[in-house]
Amino acid sequence: MKHDNMLAMILAGGRGTRLHDLTKKVAKPAVSYGGKYRIIDFPLSNCANSGIDIVGVLTQYESVLLNSYAAAGRRWGLDAKDSGVYVLPPREKADANLDVYRGTADAISQNIDFIDTYSPDYLLILSGDHIYKMNYDKMLEYHKQNNADATIAVIEVPMKEASRFGIMNTDETGHIVEFEEKPEHPKSNLASMGIYIFNWKLLRKILLADMKNADSNHDFGKDIIPTMLNDGKSLYAYKFKGYWKDVGTIDSLWEANMDLLDKNNKLDLNDPNWKIYTEDATALPQYIGADATVERAFITQGCIVDGTVKNSVLFTGAKVAAGAKVIDSVLMPGAEVAEGAVVTRALVADGIKIGKNAVVGDAASENIELVAKRVKGDE
């Protein structure tokens, strides 16, 4: 399954501002998900399972935790002699105070030397902040079969949501005829997943030209792909069928966790044929007290439940005291709900304590409440 000719680069520099306090000190791809995972585990595990040996992780904001986490390549089996995960922070200072990439294409341009070291035939570019399982090797086969210059993974989204995405308009063969960035009146519902395969020699030339262009945003969606289409290059859409979630907001992160409660959830984190690898947290088994009530819940190791948990996801080390109720909520690692407290339709951040008899969230609220500061209760 090994192929030396495709190298992967994960764009993991997203600031994730719409996740508010969750990303104040942690880069978005390092945010916790699904009880014991981090978002970055998904693209890294997909690379390992697809037989890709060399992965560059491009980081920028609040990246200390992410850097050390991703550098431990053995977690994903990417630590053999000829494989590895390489953390690549920005090299150039865009301005005096900020060490950042100017755009998604600039992130790749600044690392041309790194990519050239391995002289790949193909470059796979991935977003570091989506939750999905995908075999990139199959996408590469599709790319080769079509003799494409670039292949873009797409997923069908509801037509009413299409204007939130980059939309690919294709002919019946899958050949991309037009690309529209967040169109007001979309012509199709094929949304770009931010997963690209390029022929490296060609992309390298385009990136070098783009670096010199003062009017460019140095972005794949805004500049590189439109340039390739204008130049008559051959671009194909690779249709992905399966679970895919962009977890850019509190509501979507909550939804992605809630999806795990569905027995027919396509993500299936227990699939032995496509493992999602993560940090092995040392924690005791979960403990459910004799008087606890648990209905439809996803409870990870290290949790202690003495109260009521309904339709909720509890991450490693979360605690629900006697008489407390957690309903339609997500408790992130180490979150604690004291006696008599009630938590409804909320996402409680790592290590946050909710005091005795406190009430958080509301069953009737349209949006999920993010609890990122301690909630005082009865003293």
**CA-CA distance, 166 to 192, in Å (whole number)?**
5
Beta bridge partners of 166: 181
| Token digits of residue 129 | 């902040």
CB atoms within 10 A of CB 265: 12
End-to-end alpha carbon distance in the chain = 60
CA distances from 327 to 301, 309, 312, 347, 375 (A): 19, 6, 6, 11, 17
Q: What is the 3-state secondary structure (H, E, C) of 171-230?
A: CCCCEEEEEEECCCCCCCCEEEEEEEEEEHHHHHHHHHHHHHCCCCCCCHHHHHHHHHHH
3-state secondary structure of 127: strand
User: According to the annotation, is 101 in a ligand binding site?
Assistant: yes
The annotation status of 166 as a binding-site residue, yes or no, is yes
Report yes or no: 154 and 190 within 8 Å, Cβ to Cβ.
Answer: yes
DSSP code at position 118: T
Q: Which two tokens stand for residue 330?
A: 């997500």
Whether 133 has a binding-site annotation, put simply, is no
Q: Hey, CA dihedral for 165, 171, 174, 176, is it positive or negative?
A: negative
- Asked if residue 181 belongs to a known ligand binding site, the reply is yes
Q: What are the tokens at 223?
A: 């500049």
Under 8 Å between Cβ of 377 and 357: yes
Whether 144 has a binding-site annotation, put simply, is: no
Residues making up the annotated binding site for alpha-D-glucose 1-phosphate are: 101, 166, 181-182, 192
Binding residues: 101, 166, 181-182, 192
